[in-house]
Amino acid sequence: MDFELPDDAAALIETTRKMVSDLMPHEPEFQKTGKVPAAVRKVFRDNGFFSLAFREENGGMGLGMLEICCIQAELAHLPVQFWADVKSSQGPQTKIIEDFGTEAQRQATLPAVIAGDLVMAFCLSEPHCGSDVSAIRTRAERTGDGWRLNGYKTYVSNGIKAGQAVVAAYTDRSKGARDGISLFLVPADAPGYKLAGILELMGHHTPGVAELAFDDVDLPAEALIGEEGKGLSYLMHGLNAGRLAIAGTSLGMGEMALEEARRYAHERPAFGGTLSDFQAVQHMLADMATEMRAARLLMLDAAWRYDRGEVSRSLCAMAKLFCSETACRTVDTALQIFGGAGYVRGQRVERLYRDVRVTRIYEGASEIQKNTIAREMLRD
Amino acid sequence: MKVLVPVKRVIDYNMKAKVKSDGSGVDLANVKMSMNPFDEIAVEEAIRLREVGKAEEIVAVSVGVKQAQETLRTALAMGADRAILVIASDDVHTDIEPLAVAKILKAIVDEQQPGLVLCGKQAIDNDMNATGQMLSALLGWSQATFASELSVDGDSAVVTREVDGGLQTIKVKIPAVVTVDLRLNEPRYASLPNIMKAKKKPLDEKTAADLGVDVAPRLEIVKTSEPAARQAGEMVPDVDTLVAKLKEKGLV
Ligand SMILES: Cc1cc2nc3c(=O)[nH]c(=O)nc-3n(C[C@H](O)[C@H](O)[C@H](O)COP(=O)(O)OP(=O)(O)OC[C@H]3O[C@@H](n4cnc5c(N)ncnc54)[C@H](O)[C@@H]3O)c2cc1C
């Protein structure tokens, strides 16, 4: 058995780590202004970060989930806003187009995404339903030569600046979610497509997620992605990869908090020594390190198997569940070690505390991951 | 013109070097290794020469252990066209001395016929600052050391050198050996797609014996020791005490 990362993965991670550490000094400026410095996007654009997940024939690097998760864990040391676009280039919205879209849909989106010029949105959640996908109300009706889309979507990441959106809608409610939901590629400049609102968030708090309204948006027949009624199965197709990527995100945040806490415990004077002299603090650090290591191994195992074609819903759910829950605990303990300083705006652990919380909610909340794990266990 | 860039695998500049318990050298087992930072600058400069049409091909070469392959892959990922690895030892703790490296590089130069050899001014592990100079002597080529600016024009190169008194600009005949200093440029990252493409670029392997160079050390390391630990400072209550203390120590 060999626990070493493959050479390629190691080289990619190493380089990413170097770029991330060079970008770190931009954090204080960002914390002050809320604006992502242009230099950040340039580094990601110039160094191929928007091409990671796409296949080589489509101009991508064709990386596996092992590399993607590990790279994501490095990026997650930086404020979310720095890499949100990079992450969206690997999201279900682009993967679905690559795997099920027509050549015309691919041409209209992928080259621009890879060049870092186009951000795409993924619109599934609605105000009254998130976990329960079958309850969406957005619908698309056939017109003479196309479709008419009506509905309202919320929590749309990157929805404010997205140029194209993948939208889930019922095309035939009588067939239920399994055969009645379809996906559409909708350009943001289509008449009737409206940015209806912006929700400010606890973490990632600028620029917020979007609410998008679709009022009688007329789409040509070619806007349908793949086959009619296959929407849910396309969504499920990308589910495991999406969960692994969040495992990577939360892992990176937890590891960053652990490193911050280790450094601070060493430096902070207290009672004639430093915080790291106290066994209570040492034990906190030991627990954090042990749990984060376990989280990393769980993610690596699930991702490695995924790339070998041994796709297991349960392992991906476990990785997402454990990495996000562990990272939240670790960030919380790190903040405790910082004491009052950890509660101050501008402090990295304060930022992580707000940012990490959502990893237990999106891409399937922890409870939904547990449902999946239990379902797989109890299936005979 | 072909440009040859020698690159060395050294302990990563972020690592804290630890001396082996027997004092025979720095412990390099399981320590992160990277390309010597000055060599990165040399690779970058070669790429820039190619970008402005002054160089056609960039060949990176490394002398050392098999693991120096990784260092060459980095050079390839940054933009070198091909690489040559000369295996001169199988022990990561053996440092090949500058004269032996220079002889090996001379053999490579004879074979590859580059117009320019761009070296780092020194390696950050042993700070010898000798290989480039020795190579130019062995080849009988012009040399320009500590370059902070370089331009190539026809059969000559104009090099600005960082010398003790300031900056000195000299013109040398090509072929030449140029050693590069810190301020010459800021090396680019190896982009992620280029890291993957680098795997497919040619990397030839030879041994020092193939080139007929004896790499047996001529120097004997008597002892390696850690620098003396810094004494803890003293906290003073106010500026007056600080000034008094400084006077006491004869520092002001
Ligand atoms: C920052 C952010 C970005 C997002 N980006 C996007 C995006 O780009 N596109 C998009 O479509 N959506 C996005 N979402 C929405 C996200 O996917 C949903 O928030 C998530 O699916 C949970 O849905 P919900 O919020 O409606 O919670 P609900 O489904 O209402 O669930 C509320 C709580 O009940 C629990 N629960 C629900 N059902 C069960 C059950 N069967 N068993 C046990 N417990 C259950 C949940 O686990 C949760 O704890 C984003 C959300 C956030 C916060």
More confident residue, A379 or B83: B83
**B96 neighbors B64 (Cβ within 8 angstroms):** yes
Please indicate, yes or no, whether residues A211 and A245 belong to a single structural domain of this protein: no
What DSSP element (H or E) covers A214? strand A209-220
Query: How do the pLDDT tens digits run along chain A, 380 residues long?
Result: 889 999 899 999 999 999 999 999 999 999 888 899 999 999 999 999 999 999 999 999 999 999 999 999 999 999 999 999 999 999 899 999 999 999 999 999 999 999 999 999 999 999 999 999 999 999 999 999 999 999 999 999 999 999 999 999 999 999 999 999 999 999 999 999 999 999 999 987 668 899 999 999 999 999 999 999 999 999 998 899 999 999 999 999 999 999 999 999 999 999 999 999 999 999 999 999 999 999 999 999 999 999 999 989 999 999 999 999 999 999 999 999 999 999 999 899 999 999 999 999 999 999 999 999 999 999 97
Considering the domain architecture, whether residues A90 and A160 belong to the same structural domain is answered as: no
Q: Which CATH number is A50's domain given?
A: 1.10.540.10
Q: Are residues A156 and A290 in the same domain?
A: no
Nearest to A65 by CA among A253, A231, A304: A304
Asked if A61's CB is within 8 angstroms of B77's CB, the reply is: no
| Residue B237, SS3 per DSSP | coil
Centre of ligand 1 to C-alpha B163, Å, is: 64
Residue A199's DSSP bridge partners are A209
| A2 assigned to some structural domain | no
Q: Do A290 and A372 belong together in one domain?
A: yes
Pocket of ligand 1 contains residue A209 by CB under 6 Å: yes
Q: In this predicted complex, what is the ipTM?
A: 0.86
| Cα→Cα distances A124→A135, A295, A321, Å | 10, 29, 21
A365 & A241 share domain? yes
- Alpha helices for chain A (secondary structure H): 7-23, 27-33, 38-46, 65-75, 80-88, 92-100, 103-114, 176-180, 231-237, 239-267, 279-307, 313-338, 348-356, 366-378
Domain membership of residue A207 as a residue range: 120-228
Task: Let me know: does A246 contact A324? Beta carbons within 8 Å.
Answer: yes
Q: Average of pLDDT values for B1-30?
A: 94
- Nearest-by-CA chain A residue for B77: A11
State whether A147 and A183 are in the same domain: yes
Residues of A involved in catalysis: 363
Q: Which of A96, A114, A132 is the last residue of a domain?
A: A114
* Cβ A188 under 6 angstroms from ligand 1: no
Q: Which two tokens stand for residue A286?
A: 């030991």
Contact A153, A123 (CB under 8 A): yes
Is there a contact between A61 and B193 if contact means CB atoms under 8 Å apart? yes
> Are A368 and A246 part of one and the same domain?
yes
Q: At A360, which CATH number?
A: 1.20.140.10
Is A120 near ligand 1, meaning CB less than 6 Å away?
Answer: no
CB atoms closer than 10 angstroms to residue A94: 29
Cross-chain residue pair B191–A47, CB shorter than 8 Å: yes
Atom of ligand 1 nearest to the CA of A131: 29
Rounded distance from Cα A172 to ligand 1 centre (Å): 24
* Pair (A254, A198) in one structural domain: no
The answer to whether the Cβ–Cβ distance between B199 and A8 falls below 8 Å is yes
Q: What amino acid is encoded at B66 in this protein?
A: K
Q: How far is CA A164 from CA A67, A156, A314, in A?
A: 27, 12, 32
Q: What token pair was written down for A291?
A: 């749990």
- A267 and A356 both lie in a single domain: yes
**Domain assignment of residue A265, yes or no:** yes
How many Cβ atoms from other residues are within 10 Å of residue A372's Cβ?
A: 21
- Structural domain contains residue A168: yes
In a mutational test of the A interface, the residue from B33, B186, B196 whose CB has the highest number of chain A CBs within 10 Å is B196
Which chain B positions have a beta carbon within 8 Å of A46's beta carbon? 189, 191
A110 and A131 part of one domain: no
Pocket test of ligand 1: the residue of A132, A133, A155 to mutate, having most ligand atoms within 8 Å of its CB, is A155
Distance from CA of B191 to the nearest CA of A (A): 4
Interface probe with A: pick from B12, B195, B235, most Cβ of A within 10 Å: B195
Domain assignment present for residue A329? The answer is yes
Same domain flag for A259 and A223: no
| Domain end position, chosen among A181, A202, A228 | A228
Domains present along chain B, CATH in parentheses: 2-248 (3.40.50.620)
Q: pLDDT (tens digit, 9 = 90+) per residue, B163-211?
A: 999 999 999 999 999 999 999 999 999 999 999 999 999 999 999 999 9
Of the candidates A89, A114, A139, which is a domain's last residue? A114
Give the integer Cα–Cα distance in Å for A378 and A373. 9
Judgement on whether residues A13 and A70 belong to the same structural domain of the protein: yes
Does a structural domain hold residue A100?
yes
Least Cα distance to B182 among B117, B116, B129, B114 occurs for: B129
Q: Which of chain A's residues have a Cβ under 8 Å away from the Cβ of B192?
A: 12, 15-16, 47-49, 51-52, 61, 71
Residue A12 lies inside a defined structural domain of this protein: yes
Asked if A355 and A79 touch (Cβ cutoff 8 Å), the reply is yes
Work out how many domains chain A is built from and give that number: 3
What's the CA gap between A308 and A320, in Å, rounded? Answer: 19
Report A:17-56 residues touching B (Cβ under 8 A).
18-19, 43, 46-49, 51-52
Task: Calculate how far, in angstroms, residue A201's C-alpha sits from the geometric centre of ligand 1.
Answer: 14
Contact between A316 and A302 (Cβ < 8 Å): yes
In a domain, A1, yes or no: no
- Secondary structure letter of residue A251 according to DSSP: H
Q: How much is the mean pLDDT over chain B?
A: 95
CA distance B187 to A252: 27
**Residue to test with chain B: of A52, A54, A61, most B Cβ within 10 A:** A61
